[in-house]
Protein backbone atom coordinates (compact mmCIF):
# COMPACT_ATOMS: atom_id res chain seq x y z
CA UNK A 1 0.00 0.00 0.00
CA UNK A 2 1.06 3.56 -0.70
CA UNK A 3 -0.25 6.83 0.63
CA UNK A 4 -1.94 9.46 -1.49
CA UNK A 5 -3.19 12.58 0.24
CA UNK A 6 -2.80 10.75 3.56
CA UNK A 7 -4.99 7.82 2.49
CA UNK A 8 -3.95 4.26 1.75
CA UNK A 9 -3.76 3.47 -1.94
CA UNK A 10 -3.33 0.00 -3.48
CA UNK A 11 -0.25 -0.81 -5.54
CA UNK A 12 -2.56 -1.16 -8.54
CA UNK A 13 -3.91 2.37 -8.07
CA UNK A 14 -0.40 3.70 -7.48
CA UNK A 15 0.92 2.16 -10.71
CA UNK A 16 -2.13 3.08 -12.80
CA UNK A 17 -1.88 6.64 -11.46
CA UNK A 18 1.78 6.81 -12.51
CA UNK A 19 0.96 5.34 -15.93
CA UNK A 20 -1.85 7.83 -16.48
CA UNK A 21 0.31 10.76 -15.33
CA UNK A 22 3.22 9.64 -17.52
CA UNK A 23 5.38 9.50 -14.37
CA UNK A 24 8.29 7.39 -15.59
CA UNK A 25 10.42 8.27 -12.55
CA UNK A 26 7.85 6.69 -10.21
CA UNK A 27 7.43 3.67 -12.49
CA UNK A 28 11.19 3.07 -12.47
CA UNK A 29 11.18 3.27 -8.66
CA UNK A 30 8.33 0.75 -8.51
CA UNK A 31 10.25 -1.57 -10.85
CA UNK A 32 13.18 -1.51 -8.41
CA UNK A 33 10.81 -2.54 -5.59
CA UNK A 34 8.64 -5.12 -7.37
CA UNK A 35 10.04 -8.09 -9.26
CA UNK A 36 6.76 -8.46 -11.19
CA UNK A 37 6.82 -4.96 -12.65
CA UNK A 38 6.85 -4.06 -15.51
CA UNK A 39 7.10 -7.71 -16.55
CA UNK A 40 3.97 -9.18 -15.07
CA UNK A 41 0.28 -8.66 -14.48
CA UNK A 42 -1.64 -6.31 -12.24
CA UNK A 43 -3.23 -7.64 -9.06
CA UNK A 44 -6.73 -6.36 -9.79
CA UNK A 45 -7.84 -7.67 -13.19
CA UNK A 46 -4.68 -9.65 -14.00
CA UNK A 47 -3.83 -7.74 -17.17
CA UNK A 48 -0.26 -7.38 -18.31
CA UNK A 49 1.25 -4.07 -17.27
CA UNK A 50 2.17 -3.46 -20.94
CA UNK A 51 -1.53 -3.56 -21.88
CA UNK A 52 -2.31 -1.14 -19.04
CA UNK A 53 0.48 1.14 -20.30
CA UNK A 54 -0.88 1.01 -23.84
CA UNK A 55 -4.38 1.83 -22.58
CA UNK A 56 -3.54 4.68 -20.22
CA UNK A 57 0.18 5.48 -20.49
CA UNK A 58 2.21 7.12 -23.22
CA UNK A 59 4.78 6.22 -25.87
CA UNK A 60 7.75 6.85 -23.58
CA UNK A 61 6.42 4.43 -20.97
CA UNK A 62 5.67 1.73 -23.55
CA UNK A 63 9.20 2.13 -24.95
CA UNK A 64 10.67 1.88 -21.45
CA UNK A 65 8.73 -1.30 -20.69
CA UNK A 66 9.88 -2.90 -23.93
CA UNK A 67 13.48 -1.86 -23.17
CA UNK A 68 13.08 -3.50 -19.73
CA UNK A 69 12.43 -6.82 -21.48
CA UNK A 70 8.65 -6.92 -21.60
CA UNK A 71 7.82 -8.88 -24.77
CA UNK A 72 5.82 -7.06 -27.43
CA UNK A 73 3.63 -10.15 -27.72
CA UNK A 74 2.49 -10.67 -24.15
CA UNK A 75 -0.03 -13.46 -23.69
CA UNK A 76 -3.37 -11.68 -23.47
CA UNK A 77 -6.05 -13.57 -21.58
CA UNK A 78 -8.79 -11.80 -23.50
CA UNK A 79 -7.31 -13.11 -26.80
CA UNK A 80 -6.63 -9.63 -28.15
CA UNK A 81 -3.03 -8.95 -29.17
CA UNK A 82 -1.29 -5.80 -27.96
CA UNK A 83 -1.90 -4.04 -31.26
CA UNK A 84 -5.66 -4.24 -30.66
CA UNK A 85 -5.21 -2.26 -27.46
CA UNK A 86 -3.09 0.29 -29.31
CA UNK A 87 -5.58 0.59 -32.17
CA UNK A 88 -8.38 1.22 -29.66
CA UNK A 89 -6.48 4.11 -28.05
CA UNK A 90 -8.09 7.53 -28.17
CA UNK A 91 -4.92 9.49 -27.31
CA UNK A 92 -3.05 11.48 -29.98
CA UNK A 93 0.06 9.26 -29.69
CA UNK A 94 -1.90 6.20 -30.84
CA UNK A 95 0.03 5.77 -34.09
CA UNK A 96 3.38 6.34 -32.40
CA UNK A 97 2.62 3.53 -29.96
CA UNK A 98 1.52 1.24 -32.80
CA UNK A 99 4.81 1.96 -34.57
CA UNK A 100 6.84 1.27 -31.41
CA UNK A 101 5.05 -2.06 -30.90
CA UNK A 102 5.52 -3.15 -34.52
CA UNK A 103 9.21 -2.22 -34.39
CA UNK A 104 9.50 -4.29 -31.19
CA UNK A 105 8.07 -7.31 -33.01
CA UNK A 106 4.38 -7.22 -32.13
CA UNK A 107 2.39 -9.82 -34.05
CA UNK A 108 0.57 -8.26 -36.99
CA UNK A 109 -1.89 -11.14 -37.33
Write down the mean pLDDT value for the chain.
88
Residue at 58 is within a domain: yes
Cα separation of 12 and 95, whole Å? Answer: 27
Confidence label for 74 from pLDDT (cuts 50, 70 and 90): confident
Residue 109, in any domain of the structure: no
**Rounded Cα–Cα distance for residues 109 and 107 (Å):** 6
Does 28 map to a domain? yes
Helix (H, G, I), strand (E, B) or coil at 7: strand
Answer yes or no: is pLDDT of 69 > 70: yes
pTM listed for this prediction? 0.87
Number of domains the chain contains:
1
Indicate whether 9 pLDDT > 80: no
Domain residues for the domain of 8 are 2-103
Whole-number Å distance between alpha carbons of 9 and 99? 34
CATH code at 29? 1.25.40.20
Nearest to 50 by CA among 107, 11, 105, 101: 101
Start-to-end CA distance of the chain, whole Å, equals 39
Q: How many helices (H) and strands (E) does the chain have?
A: 6, 2
C-alpha span between 86 and 3 (Å, rounded): 31
pLDDT of residue 49: 96
pLDDT for res 4: 45
Would residue 108 count as lying in a domain?
no
**Residues 6-28: what's their mean pLDDT?**
88
Nearest to 37 by CA among 56, 18, 20: 18
Amino acid sequence: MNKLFGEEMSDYDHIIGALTAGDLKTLKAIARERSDFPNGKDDLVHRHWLINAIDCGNREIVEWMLAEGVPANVDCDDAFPVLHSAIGREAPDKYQIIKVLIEAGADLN
